[in-house]
């Protein structure tokens, strides 16, 4: 699990165009409300984009809104099974796997003391 956590801490939308901003910078900086606002006002992101859903889940989990976070993580788990997200460490992880692990972390209460960010 430590590999996932270290990867999630560093996940970023490096390969994404600015139009695909999933609020990585805000999440890394711990600005969860700003991250939610950035994502929700980005009308170029698909509602079902796994990076969008995972980052919204992370932001809501860190704000203590676990039920909303759960809904986002569960929705992200419905993503295309072949979709991978790139970490800043250069690792590619399936979006479904990140979503599932994020949900497991939520269930264990690990978001309260972690800086976790999903990716593009």
- For 48-74, the pLDDT digits (tens) are 999 999 999 999 999 999 999 999 999
Question: Which range has highest mean pLDDT (54-58, 78-82, 84-88)?
Answer: 54-58
**Average of pLDDT values for 78-90?**
76
pTM, rounded to two decimals: 0.79
Domain CATH code at residue 44:
1.25.40
Residue 82 has pLDDT above 70, yes or no: yes
Domain of 21 in residue numbering reads as: 2-113
Residue 12: per-residue pLDDT: 41
Task: Judge whether 120 lies within some domain.
Answer: no
Q: Which residues of 11-32 are buried (b: 16+ CB within 10 A; e: fewer)?
A: bbbeebeeebbbbbebbbeeeb
Domain total in the chain: 1
Say yes or no to pLDDT of 85 above 70. yes
């Amino acid at each position: 699990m430590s590999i996932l956590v270290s990867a999630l801490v560093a996940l970023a939308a490096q390969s994404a165009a600015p139009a695909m901003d999933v609020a990585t910078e805000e999440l890394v900086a711990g600005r969860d409300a700003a991250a939610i606002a950035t994502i929700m006002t980005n009308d170029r992101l698909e509602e079902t984009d796994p990076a969008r859903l995972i980052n919204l889940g992370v932001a809501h989990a860190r704000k203590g809104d676990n039920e909303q976070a759960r809904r986002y993580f569960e929705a992200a788990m419905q993503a295309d099974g072949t979709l991978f997200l790139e970490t800043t460490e250069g690792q590619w992880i399936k979006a479904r796997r990140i979503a599932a692990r994020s949900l497991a972390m939520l269930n264990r209460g690990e978001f309260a003391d972690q800086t976790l960010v999903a990716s593009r």
